[in-house]
Amino acid sequence: MREVVMDTETTGLDPFTGHRIVEIGAIELLNHIPTGNVYHQYINPQRDMPEEAFNVHGLSEEFLASKPVFADIAQDFLKFIDDGILIIHNAPFDMKFLNAEFSWIEVEQLPMERVIDTLMLARKRYPMGPNSLDALCRRYGIDNSKRDKHGALLDSELLADVYMELIGGRQTVLGLTSEPQQAARTVEVGQKARANLRPTPLPSRLSQLEIEAHNEMIAGLGDKALWRNTGNG
């Protein structure tokens, strides 16, 4: 199963009031394991950078002026995500911006059906919150000390760790098994073993003389002989 954990940074909160995407970061997971394949792109928003947004991500208008516009990177981004499941924290926000950008260049929009929103996962597990990315990193002991400002690629890396915790994927990756899974497996193995029992046990191959000789030998070992306790193991 291929998943793409991703994040965006923007100039503001609403694309329909003139705000744009300025950074996209994404990392690839195969069967919940990072492959090392990443996508990272700064984007020229072709507008000024509000102070509030700059304080969040630190990307200035001057820095972004030399970067490509969204239309120039759209196909590379789509090629990277391909048909993977998108893992996004507060997905409606990022998807609103992505689909607005796609609509402006007349590219087919991404359906929400292919998205897993980790904020929704967190709210179901921890209804009392808090469920921000920083709060979830603290909850799970994930090192986010480098996150002095938001950054799309760093946030994607942190989110991948958070996502694994939310779905229990770390145990899967480490080869661990939960108690219910282990119990189910034990029951299954026991059922198979019982199914393979012979309806009629085979007769003993020992003669009566051999059995009597064996019992005599055991008696000579004393009352504390280990063989006397084999039936209690």
What is the C-alpha R_g of the chain?
A: 30
| Residues known to be catalytic | 150
Does the model's pTM come out above 0.75?
A: no
Strands 2-10 and 33-42: unpaired
The tens place of each residue's pLDDT in the chain, 233 residues long, gives 999 999 999 999 999 999 999 999 999 999 999 999 999 999 999 999 999 999 999 999 999 999 999 999 999 999 999 999 999 999 999 999 999 999 999 999 999 999 999 999 999 999 999 999 999 999 999 999 888 789 999 999 999 999 999 998 665 444 433 444 443 343 343 444 444 444 555 555 566 666 666 666 666 666 655 545 544 44
For 127-150, b/e burial (b = at least 16 CB within 10 A) is eeeebebeebbeeeebebeeeeeb
Structural fold of domain 2-174: Nucleotidyltransferase; domain 5 (3.30.420)
Here the tokens at position 52 are: 């509030």
